[in-house]
Amino acid sequence: MQEATNKVVNIQEAKRDPWEIEWERCKPYIAKAVKHQDSYTIDDVEDKIRNGIALLWPGKESAIVTEFAFFSRKKIMHILCVSGKFEELEEMFKCIENYAREVGIKKITGSGRKGWLRKIKHLGFKPDYVVSKDL
């Protein structure tokens, strides 16, 4: 016979994967980033994470979402969304970089507002240019 404990178990929490709990906490950060673009919605980002296409990097007051892109000669990690406290994000970038090297990534890319380059240039990021045309 098992002994009773005074530990309360939330049935809803027990049914959820750990990433889902972190996602709910970080979702407001990512929602702020998503509203500055028109390629995907917050639900799209959640689906990418759920299906293993993207990775959620949760911080205490920040979050980053990355995804992989595979080309014939190079594997790239693309930063899909970034939001939160910059000092924390800066530390998170170091962890992401280390992970990327461990899994054979040769380049990290990201896109966003032009002002981001000023903030991340000292981390080794440089501008690459993409041209586009709306149809």
Identify whether the C-beta of residue 125 lies closer than 8 Å to the C-beta of residue 115: no
Q: Return d(Cα 49, Cα 67) in angstroms, integer.
A: 9
Q: Return d(Cα 20, Cα 132) in angstroms, integer.
A: 34
Per domain, the residue ranges of the chain are 15-122
As its CATH architecture, domain 15-122 has 3-Layer(aba) Sandwich (3.40)
Q: pLDDT per residue over 43-83, tens digit each?
A: 999 999 999 999 999 999 999 999 999 989 889 999 999 99
User: Does pLDDT of 36 surpass 70?
Assistant: yes
User: Does pLDDT of 119 surpass 60?
Assistant: yes
> What pLDDT is stored for residue 38 in this prediction?
85
